[in-house]
Amino acid sequence: MHPVIWLGLGVAVCALLIWIRARFASFAAQRPADYATTLPKIDIRRHLSGPILCEGIVYGPLGRVASRFVAQMQGDWQGDTGTLREHFRYDNGKTQDRCWHLTLGADGHILAKADDLVGAGQGWQSGAGLLLRYRIQLPADAGGHVLDATDWIYLLENGTLMNRSEFRKFGIKVGALVATMRPMNS
């Protein structure tokens, strides 16, 4: 066989293996059904309600810490519709305010809106896990890029929420975030 054909086959096999890993053996491969039977069960109306303390780390594209933050949040709900107001303080002294508008469907589906989202985010709560996918536009001083975000939030037995997020541009991971969220009074 001609060497160019072997090279083409090698590239195709490598691409297939990369796709299989990404689809079945990575952070993005998780599905809400994976957590359907896990306990305790998350309910955003309860676990994202009242004053919340959030502490986290943002990682850059090479996996190094890019920034650290502490945020005070306030979740308020009227039935299945809620707002989550966030006030972030970053380690460089900058602050940021955000407000999520959340709607919970009867089947655990979540519709999420915020001023810096492109369109609406979609999510699902299932068992102890919550998935939220959205497109976020970074502030101008951070480049103004639009990133695809995937958040997985896991409820721990003590009521703390553990958030892991990945941010991608053109399918390439450009950042990640790990944060805890817990009621202020605990």
Q: Could you tell me the two tokens for 89?
A: 């303080």
pLDDT, averaged across the chain? 92
> Tens of pLDDT along 167-185?
999 989 999 999 999 999 7
> What pairing do the DSSP bridges indicate for beta strands 161-169 and 146-155?
antiparallel
> What pairing do the DSSP bridges indicate for beta strands 172-183 and 161-169?
antiparallel
> Tens of pLDDT along 110-163?
999 999 999 999 999 999 999 999 999 998 888 899 999 999 999 999 999 999
Tokens 């009074």: give the residue. 185
Residues written for the chain: 186
Domain boundaries, the chain: 1-30, 31-183
At residue 186, the pLDDT reads 60
| Superfamily holding 31-183 | Calycin beta-barrel core domain (2.40.128.20)
DSSP structural state of residue 132: E
DSSP string, 156-178: -TTS-EEEEEEEEETTEEEEEEE
Band (37; pLDDT cuts 50, 70, 90): very high
